[in-house]
Structure 1
Amino acid sequence: MTHTAKILTASLLLVLLLAAPCRAADPENTLFLDLDYGRVVIEMRPDLAPAHVARIKELVRSGFYNGLVFHRVIDGFMAQTGDPSGTGRGGSGKNLRAEFSRQPFVRGTVGMARAQSEHSGDSQFFICFAPAPYLDGQYTVWGQVTSGMEFVDKIRKGQGSSGMVGTPDRIVRIQVAADVAAK
């Protein structure tokens, strides 16, 4: 192989490696969550929570999450969104049965928020900033951030133990990757 061919081959490999995080391994089960800070890519886990993933995709495709705030953000724990009222008390109006698994809550895990009843998950979800083993087996895991956690880290934190945010960040847009590729 000539020197020029080696350089071209190396350049092509570098371009492919740099572009890799932008492509979804499974576009139908990948979300693009756009924040003011950048894009967060979430791999959904229908193997763990098929009903939750189906409902999240339904809500995403309807535009439900676009413009919603991260109303509850606790530094070192998680950022929560998905309430159209912005108070932490609202939802889409359709509760889901819990789909608990052995999947641990680690940095970047996306879980379904709920009230005291384990079958009260609706539209609110959270992204963990750090491991939260005390949630394991008690909340439904339906996804994992695969890139863009640095943007999640920038979401404005709330005050006090409730984590309610005075001037919250918003979801600019959230899309199923397959829908973006189809356009």
Structure 2
Amino acid sequence: MRILPNISRATWFVGIFFIVNILLTACNQPSANSSAEPSPTETNSPVAQVTTDPYKDYKPRLNGKATVEMMVNGQPIIIEVDGENAPITAGNFVDLVEQGFYNSLTFHRVVDGFVAQGGDPKGDGTGGYVDKNTQRPRNIPLEIKVDPAVENAPETPVYSRALGNQAGFPVMLPHKTGAVAMARSQMLDSASSQFYFTLSDETGFLDGDYAVFGYVTQGMDVVLKIKQGDKIQSAKVITGQNNLEK
């Protein structure tokens, strides 16, 4: 599960527009992993008012914010997880942290100046979380909250729809240095457990296509030193546990 093809930093900058076009084209493919129907609103505008929330009863869900401490190379990384603007994506992450799922998993993909990606139990970018009770993979819908300042912006996040940075709609949780977001395959609703830290502000072209759910508030120096193969020694929720609805 990659958020971009595996390329060097040098070729990344040269081919940036080509890659973005590939991403946006791929994001328009229907998801085979979707567990619920997208918004019934049929419109040419990707941010037209959504009258119903197809995921209003989805669990786990984070109703508010939480703080997660992740230990990497013996040093803490503090993440503020935002369930106010990404309740399902944030709830999924906090639930996995509480289960101890991320403990001892590696960062299997690190691209200097771009992202550090981890959270794959297989360690090769192809794995995800399998629910212990159902023995089935758990995937979550793509979840993007549009800035309410946008005309006709929906009150709830937009689900299962790639808005794309090129649409020009500002999102509530943009990609910037220290953003924490979910990785996925070309299928929109395929995110599971793999997440990534963004390592620079030059990642805004991912806005609208990948779901940010929080930001590093302390320990960005630790994040910037992550190397491929480094392990998440531990991850725990230190505040906001009561906001998680299972």
TM > 0.5 = yes
Q: Which residue of 2 aligns with 1:52?
A: 89
Q: What amino acid maps onto 1:35 in structure 2?
A: V
- Give the Cα–Cα distance (whole angstroms) in 2 for the partners of residues 135 and 48 of structure 1: 17
User: Does the alignment pair 1:154 with 2:198?
Assistant: no
Amino acid at match of 2:186: Q
Q: Which residue of 2 aligns with 1:94?
A: 138
Cα distance in 2, alignment partners of residues 95 and 175 from structure 1 = 21
Q: Does 1:63 align with 2:124?
A: no
Deviation at 1:37, TM superposition (A): 4.4
Structure 1 residues 179 and 97, CA gap change in structure 2 (3 angstroms): closer
Contact 2:66–2:240 (8 Å) recurs in 1: no
5+ residue gaps, structure 2, are 1-63, 130-136, 146-170, 242-246
Partner Cα separation in structure 2 for residue 170 and residue 179 of structure 1? 25
1-structure distance, mates of 2:200, 2:125: 21
**Higher gyration radius (CA):** 1
Report whether the alignment pairs 1:35 with 2:96: no
* Partners of 2:174 and 2:94 in 1: CA distance: 22
Gaps of 5+ in 1: 1-26, 157-164
1:84-108 CA distance string (max 9 Å, x none)? 0000000002110111130220000
Deviation at 1:179, TM superposition (A): 8.4
Question: Aligned pairs, how many?
Answer: 144
- How far apart are the structure 2 equivalents of 1:28 and 1:100? 17
| Shift, 1:178, TM fit | 3.1
Corresponding position of 2:231: 170
Matches within 5 A, 1:121-160: 121-131=191-201, 132-156=203-227
Please tell me whether the aligned partners of residues 65 and 80 of structure 2 are also in contact (alpha carbons under 8 angstroms).
no
Alignment RMSD: 1.7
Q: Distance in 1 between matches of 2:178 and 2:81?
A: 12
1:114 and 2:184 equivalent?
yes
Match of 1:85 in 2: 122
